[in-house]
Amino acid sequence: MNNSYMPFRSEILEVIKHADVEYTFRMSYDRGDTHPVKPGQFFEISIPKYGEAPISVSGITDHSLDFTIRRVGSLTEEIFENYVGGHFFMRGPYGNGFDVNIFKGKEIVLITGGSGLSPVHGVIDYFADHMDECKSLNIISGFKSPDDILFRDDLKRWIADGMNFIYTVDAAPEGYEGNVGLVTQYIPQLPLKDFDNAIAVVVGPPMMIKFSIQELLKIGFDEEKIWLSESRKMCCGLGKCGHCRIGELYVCQDGPVFKYTTVRSFID
């Protein structure tokens, strides 16, 4: 019997520490031929006796998957304390994810808050390797404080690759030389030439998504060209447990990536 709830074992290949409470776990993955993974999709990370948590894929190679996990509660605590160097169980991939084809040939805008950078990490990686396949790539990433900045090494590499990458922190100690301020304040500075050929993705906490979209609309973005990734409580990822439902949609099945115009009328 094909049991969708049976997780498979995956070895931890490497742990990249961004901050005390945020690590990227690089996990072995040999099922790419039968179960290909797209950026924006997620897995249920499963730790026997502690439970399961939906975690987005933050990097994809032929034989590995990255998961960038924030330590917030019982299960993620257990992952940080006892699994560094060991293995996880997991099941997935789930959700629709991002189709890189919809970005090709366009002026791309990605706006992320905190770990919202994870789901689009794979999109950035793709265009970092194929800059000729898009018109331009503009990214605004916000973090709480300088200590919370994720993927520092990637940021440097991406900037060197020629993308317009702005990262900013909500607040910083005196003497901090980087950008300080919310992501919304950098949106008017986006060097966009043709809104008809632009596409934007916003990923982050609900308030950040709301205000970023307001700002995008203000500068003239077409509402049909804005996408976002939703997050809800999820117990299954399979359209069965009901927790992620909004109206007639299931975020785990129909999302988590949605067009703004679809989600706009959502009433939780």
Partner 1 sequence: MGYAVSLEKFQTVFDSWRKKYDVYAPKVFEGTGRFSETDVVRYGKVTDLADIDWNDRSEYSFKDILLPLSQTLLYFTEHGMTESEGPTRGTIVFLRSCDLHAVKRLDYMFLENGPEDSYYKRVRDGLKFVLMGCDHDFDGCFCVSMGTNVSTDYDAAVNVRSGGFEIDCKDPELAQAFLDMGAAEADVTPDAVMENSLTVKVPENLTSAVAKSSIWDEYDKRCIKCGRCTVACPTCTCWSMQDLFYTENGQAGERRRVQASCMIDGYTEVAGGLCFRKKAGERMRFKVLHKVLDFKKRSGFQMCVGCGRCDAICPEYISFTHCVEKLEAGMKEVSGHE
Instruction: Return residues touching ligand FAD (CB under 6 A).
Output: 42, 51, 53-56, 68-70, 72-77, 115, 118, 231-234, 256
User: Which DSSP helix (H) or strand (E) runs through 121?
Assistant: helix 117-129
Under the criterion CB under 6 A, does residue 51 sit at the interface with ligand FES?
A: no
Binding-site partner at residue 2 among ligand FAD, partner 1, ligand FES, none, CB < 5 to 8 Å by type: partner 1
Q: Which of 122/192 has CB closer to ligand FAD?
A: 122
Angle between helices 117-129 and 152-160 (to 10 degrees): 30
Q: How far is the CB of 42 from ligand FES (least distance, A)?
A: 10
- Is the Cβ–Cβ distance between 29 and 63 less than 8 Å? yes
Q: Phi and psi for 248 in degrees, rounded to 5?
A: -90, 5
CB of 45 to partner 1, least distance (A): 12
Site for ligand FES in 234-253 (CB under 6 A): 234-237, 239-244, 250, 252
Question: Quick one: tokens of 51?
Answer: 């439970």
- Select 215 or 255, whichever has its Cβ closest to ligand FAD: 255
Alpha-carbon distances of 84 from 7, 51, 150, 201, 209, rounded to whole Å: 19, 17, 19, 32, 32
In the bound complex, what is the minimum distance in angstroms from residue 213's beta carbon to ligand FAD?
Answer: 19
Site for ligand FES in 121-180 (CB under 6 A): none
Closer residue to ligand FAD, CB minimum distance, 69 or 123: 69
Residue 19 near residue 144, CB atoms below 8 Å: no
- State the DSSP code for 100: G
Give the residues across from 70 on adjacent strands: 22
Q: Of the two residues 155 and 235, which places its CB atom closer to ligand FES in the complex?
A: 235
- The terminus-to-terminus CA distance of the chain in angstroms comes to 35
Q: What Rg do the C-alpha atoms of the chain give, in angstroms?
A: 18
Torsion of CA 68, 69, 70, 76, to 10 degrees: -170
Q: Select 151 or 186, whichever has its Cβ closest to ligand FAD.
A: 151
Query: What does 256 interact with, of ligand FES, ligand FAD, partner 1, none (CB < 5 to 8 A by kind)?
Result: ligand FAD
Residue 266 binds ligand FES, judged by CB under 6 A = no
Q: Which residues bind ligand FES (CB under 6 A)?
A: 234-237, 239-244, 250, 252
